[in-house]
Amino acid sequence: MKVAVVFDTPRKGWGHDDFAREVAAKVEEPEYEIAGALTHNGHDVRLVGVGPDVRPLLDELAAYEPDLVFNCTEGFGNKPALDYLIPALLEAEGYPYTGSPPLALLTTRNKAISKEVLAYFGIQVPGFATYRLTEEVRGAPALTFPLIVKPLQEDASLGIAQASIVRDADQLADRVAFVHQSFRQAAIAEEFVEGRELYVSIVGNGDDLDILPIVEMVFDRRKARRPEERIATRLAKWDVGYRDRKGIRNVFARPISRRTREHIADICRTAFRALWLRDYARLDVRLTADDQVWFIEANANPFISLGHDMANAAEKAGMSYPAFIERIVKEASRRRDAHDQA
For residue 32, how many other CB atoms are within 10 A of its CB?
23
Q: How confident is the model at residue 81 (pLDDT cuts 50, 70, 90)?
A: very high
What pLDDT score does 341 carry? Answer: 46
Q: How confident is the model at residue 156 (pLDDT cuts 50, 70, 90)?
A: confident
The 8-class DSSP code of residue 297 comes to: E
pLDDT at 342 over 90: no
Closest CA to 131 of 147, 113, 149: 149
Q: How confident is the model at residue 231 (pLDDT cuts 50, 70, 90)?
A: confident
What rounded mean pLDDT belongs to the chain?
A: 95
pLDDT at 229 over 90: no
Closest CA to 129 of 144, 119, 117, 118: 144
Closest CA to 116 of 324, 240, 295: 295
Comparing 106-120, 198-212, 231-245, which segment has the lowest mean pLDDT? Answer: 231-245
- Mean pLDDT to the nearest integer, 1-7: 98
Class of domain 2-97: alpha beta
Q: How confident is the model at residue 225 (pLDDT cuts 50, 70, 90)?
A: confident
CATH architecture group of domain 194-214+253-337: 2-Layer Sandwich (3.30)
Whole-number Å distance between alpha carbons of 241 and 158: 18
| 3 state SS of 21 | helix
Whole-number Å distance between alpha carbons of 3 and 47: 9
Contact 171, 187 (CB under 8 A): no
Q: How confident is the model at residue 246 (pLDDT cuts 50, 70, 90)?
A: confident
What pLDDT score does 221 carry? Answer: 82
H-only helix segments in 134-280:
169-183, 234-238, 240-246, 258-274
| 3 state SS of 75 | coil
Contact 272, 200 (CB under 8 A): no
Q: What is the DSSP string of 33-62?
A: HHHHHHHHTT-EEEEEEE-S--HHHHHHHH
In the chain, % of residues over pLDDT 70: 99
- Mean pLDDT to the nearest integer, 177-201: 97
More confident residue, 61 or 342: 61
Question: What fold, for 127-191?
Answer: Dna Ligase; domain 1 (3.30.1490)
Q: How confident is the model at residue 339 (pLDDT cuts 50, 70, 90)?
A: low
For residue 94, how many other CB atoms are within 10 A of its CB?
7
Whole-number Å distance between alpha carbons of 210 and 280: 9
| 3 state SS of 327 | helix
Whole-number Å distance between alpha carbons of 264 and 176: 31
> Residue ranges of the domains in the chain?
2-97, 127-191, 194-214+253-337
pLDDT at 215 over 50: yes
Alpha-carbon dihedral sign for residues 328, 233, 113, 270: positive
273-315 per-position pLDDT tens digit: 999 999 999 999 999 999 999 999 999 999 999 999 999 999 9
pLDDT at 135 over 90: yes
